[in-house]
Amino acid sequence: MPEVQLTESGRKELEARLDYLKSVRRAEIAEEIKTARGFGDLSENAEYDAARKAQAEMEGEIAEIEAQLRLAKIIHETTVTCAEIVDGVEQPQKTYTIVGTAEADLKNFRLSDESPVGSALLHAQEGETVQVLLPNGKVKHIKVYKVSR
């Protein structure tokens, strides 16, 4: 698994999720398995199969989170207020937070530092207009108003 870039808040969220899975969810699933065993023949016990599947999925998630935390490189969040320029017309301003890939969430204006736009904004200066080459070959022009690191 390659290096995972996380912000400090992203690392804390992963640690909290890991703690929940290990301390709460494991016990819940163990109880579900115990209850399902009481239903009789395990070969035709749908509740038991479902509980065992949930247990396997949870253990996989625990292993994945542990690997991410082990390989994590902490990066600083960067907040950028900017406006896209389309056909010479400046669009409404938006504020994006540049985060590690594992934390990216476009709906919440959190861009990956590895995405074309995120990478360009990460290195932008206030007052600068950056040009971003998109994967489709088009160029996006973005006016940067404020950068907080």
For the segment 30-40, the average pLDDT, to the nearest whole number, is 87
- Domain 4-73 in CATH 1.10.287.180: yes
Any residues with CB less than 8 A from the CB of 95 and at least 6 apart, and which?
79, 80, 81, 82, 109, 146
Q: For the chain, give every domain's residue range.
A: 4-73, 76-148
Binned at pLDDT 50, 70 and 90, residue 22 comes out as very high
- pLDDT above 80: residue 41: no
- What Cα–Cα distance (Å) separates residue 142 from each residue in 55, 67, 121, 135? 46, 36, 9, 16
Q: What is the pLDDT of residue 37?
A: 85
Closest CA to 5 of 55, 67, 75, 56: 75
pLDDT for 1 equals: 66
Three-state DSSP class for 26?
A: helix
Residue 2, pLDDT score: 75
**Residue 25: its pLDDT value, please?**
97
Q: Which of 3.40.50.970, 3.90.420.10, 3.40.50.2300, 3.10.50.30 would CATH assign to domain 76-148?
A: 3.10.50.30
Q: Model-level pTM?
A: 0.70
Residue percentage of the chain with pLDDT more than 70? 99
Residue 20 pLDDT class (50, 70, 90 cuts): very high
What are the tens digits of pLDDT across the range 47-69? 899 999 999 999 999 999 999 99
**What is the pLDDT averaged over residues 109-130?**
94
Per the prediction, the chain carries an average pLDDT of 92
Banded pLDDT at 29 (limits 50, 70, 90): very high
